[in-house]
Amino acid sequence: MDKRSITNALAAATCTLLGSTAPEPVLAQEEPGWSFNTSLLYYGEDDDRVQDLSLKTLSKRTFVDDRYLSLGLTVDALTGASPNGALPQSVAQTFTQPSGKNTFTTPPGEFPLDDTFRDTRVAITADWEQPLGRLWAMNIGASASKEFDYLHLGLNAKISRDFNNRNTTLSGGFAVAMDDVDPIGGTPTGLTQMLPVGDLSNRRGSESKDIFDVILGVTQVVSRNFLMQVNYSYSDSSGYLSDPYKILTVVDGVTGDAVPLLPLFPQDQGPSHLNYFEHRPDSRSKHSLYTQGKYYMNGKVLDASYRYMTDDWEIDSHTIDVRLRWPVGGDKYLEPHLRFYTQTAAEFYQLSLIDGDPLPEYASADYRLGDFDAITLGMKYGWKTGGGNDMNVRLELYRQSGNVSTSQLIGNQVGRDNYPDLNAIIFQFGYKFGK
Amino acid sequence: MQYGILIAGLFVFVALSGCSSMGVEPWERDILAKEEMQLTTDPIEAATDDHIYFSKEASSGGRGFGGGGCGCN
């Protein structure tokens, strides 16, 4: 009889004498119950552009055996709009509103935007997570969101397996989304002219797009205080990928100024200059490589990530994101945040169309498809309340600046502001309570 | 598709061969178990950022799925 069997025999004998059986091993797991993560966000852009007030909640129900249900709700109240793609001119410009029912006028030297824009967005998510046996885990989810002119429906699933004493986790997942775009006034036909008020002859009904995403990931524990993740993702979009509200100015090939339009009838209300609706390809494939590291140093935690993205619209981007969580006594911490982003322009991005030139197959002057750099600087402060709940506030500044090479500029465009640089402020208050 | 299978194969190979010598014993997970050492510490903040940058830039996703579900004028 070896030592272990003697121990077992003694334990069994003791339990018998005490009138009980040997206890089952207990695995550590979270207690069942609800936890709530809530936040109030203000996002505001300068120059009367987009303002968003957003309320978010994420409710998580923990069940026995490491099973979780997460329910998310977001309500956004949006006002203001992004520049519509037209170039500023030395004279005032009038445009037909997207509804086709009215016009708006932009003063000289300003980026045109339709400031009558209002929208409410409601988004819901539901996720179920559970282990499958000892080493596998799965997650399935659904999402939906609705705006005045947009409907999103999506499903996703993910599966993971632990290896190497749970130091390595491999995961794979996919997501599908079916979105409908139903622009106010109808969807404009790409690369057709913006028409006078009441003329909707180049508008048609709603459009749709489908998005298919795949993600593969490795999470690795490197050491006691160092964790890393690497993800590869592929995304394929097809269908209507244009922005129905974005246009391009048609300019004179020598002066670079917008071509003026004379109304057919004096009573006609309509655009003062010639503009065309943008037109993007009906498919897009993106590849991304993302890596993140978390490093613990004497109570401080460094969180750094890098993402490379490339797509078949010839957009390449690099994103670096660094946060440092710095405890400042008790349960309080400060977290400075720095993010840097840079992207190249889509192959069909152009500032304007030239009057008289044959129309290209695709064209967009949407600044989000241009060549630009962006930087975010932020600070977060978090603390525990008397009841043991978590609160935090963060303030961030986001700045985008475009890179327009002078070779793209025609005549009077040189010396004008041709790219709508963006400055935004992000203020968020977060409160987490429950188990 | 072949490209995808190749990348998937490479992931599995690197993860299971290269990473097998790294890691910690189960009783050395005290730091890794801390809330601030999770890959996504604040899911609401992460979702907020993903949505803002999806709306304002031509890239999305990486950490998770590409996000989206908005007209984002």
In tens, the pLDDT along A34-79 reads: 999 999 999 999 988 999 999 999 999 999 999 999 999 999 999 9
Q: Write out chain A residues lying below 8 Å of B8, CB-based.
A: 172, 216
Average pLDDT over residues A263-268: 76
| Cα(A344)–Cα(A290) distance, integer angstroms | 18
Nearest-Å Rg of the Cα atoms of chain B is: 18
Q: Tell me how crowded residue A350 is: count the other CB atoms within 10 A of its CB.
A: 19
Distance CA A347, CA A315 (A): 8
Q: Where are the alpha helices (DSSP H) in A351-413?
A: none
Query: Domain range spanning residue A353?
Result: 3-434
Distance (Å) of CA B59 to CA A71, A181, A233, A369, B54: 26, 20, 12, 10, 6
Percent of chain A predicted with pLDDT > 90: 86
* B71 compared with A167, residue with greater pLDDT: A167
Question: Which residues of chain B make contact with A39, given a CB cutoff of 8 A?
Answer: 44-45, 48
Q: Is residue A239 a contact partner of residue A208, using CB atoms and an 8 Å limit? A: yes
**A122-133 residue pLDDT tens:** 999 999 999 999
**CA A65 – CA A30 distance, rounded (Å):** 8
Please state the rounded mean pLDDT for residues A98-123: 90
pLDDT at position A20: 44
Residues A73/A37, Cβ–Cβ less than 8 Å: no
Mean pLDDT of chain A: 92
CA A427 to chain centre: 17
Whole-number pLDDT of residue B3 = 61
Q: Which residues, numbered 37 to 56 in chain A, qualify as contacts with chain B under a Cβ-Cβ cut-off of 8 Å?
A: 37-39, 41, 43, 50, 54, 56
Distance separating alpha carbons of residues A25 and A130, to the nearest angstrom: 21
Tell me which of A268 and A189 has the higher pLDDT. A189
State mean pLDDT over B7-23: 68
pLDDT of residue A406: 87
Predicted pLDDT of residue B68: 62
Query: CA–CA separation, B45 vs B47, rounded Å?
Result: 5
Higher confidence at residue A164 or residue B65? Answer: A164
What distance in Å separates the CA atoms of residue A244 and residue A227, rounded to the nearest whole number?
Answer: 43
Contact A252, A411 (CB under 8 A): yes
In angstroms, the CA A370 to CA A403 distance is: 8
Judged by CB atoms closer than 8 Å, whether chains meet at B65 and A175 is answered as yes
Best A76, A143, A164, A369 residue to mutate vs chain B (most B CBs within 10 Å)? A164
Q: Is B13 an 8 Å CB contact of chain A? A: no
pLDDT, position A271: 95
**pLDDT band at A1; cut points 50, 70, 90:** very low
- Report helix, strand or coil for A159: strand
| Model pLDDT, residue A18 | 45
Percent of chain B with pLDDT over 90: 53
B66 interface with A at CB cutoff 8 Å: yes
Between A391 and A264, residue with greater pLDDT: A391
Q: Is the CB of A219 less than 8 angstroms away from the CB of B37?
A: no
Please report the pLDDT score of residue A25 as a whole number.
Answer: 45
Q: How confident is the model at residue A9 (pLDDT cuts 50, 70, 90)?
A: low
Calculated CA dihedral for residues A352, A354, A355, A359, nearest 10 degrees: -90
CA distance A333 to A13: 53
pLDDT in tens, A353-409: 999 999 999 999 999 999 999 999 999 999 999 999 999 999 999 999 999 988 889
Per-chain mean pLDDT for chain B: 82
Residues sharing a CB contact under 8 Å with residue A28, sequence separation 6 or more, in sequence order? none
Instruction: List the single best residue of A122, A149, A163 to mutate versus B (max B Cβ within 10 A).
Output: A163
Helix or strand (DSSP H, E) at B11: helix B2-17
* Cβ <8 Å between B11 and A426: no
Q: Domain with A237 in it: what CATH number?
A: 2.40.160.40
Mean pLDDT, to the nearest integer, of B16-22?
70
Judged against a pLDDT cut of 70, whether residue A24 lies above it is answered with no
Distance (Å) from the C-alpha of residue A368 to the closest C-alpha of chain B? Answer: 5
Give B 20-49 residues with CB within 8 A of chain A: 20, 22-26, 28-32, 34, 36-39, 41-45, 47-48
Interface of A with B in 254-273 (CB under 8 A): none
Q: Indicate the pTM of the whole model.
A: 0.90
User: Which stretch of DSSP H or E encloses residue A426?
Assistant: strand A422-434
Judged by a CB distance cut-off of 8 A, whether residue B4 touches chain A is yes
**Residues 177..206 of A with a Cβ closer than 8 Å to B: which?**
177, 179, 181
How many domains, chain A? 1
pLDDT score recorded for residue A82: 83
The amino acid occupying position B27 is: W
Contacts of A215 in chain B (CB under 8 A): 61, 64-65
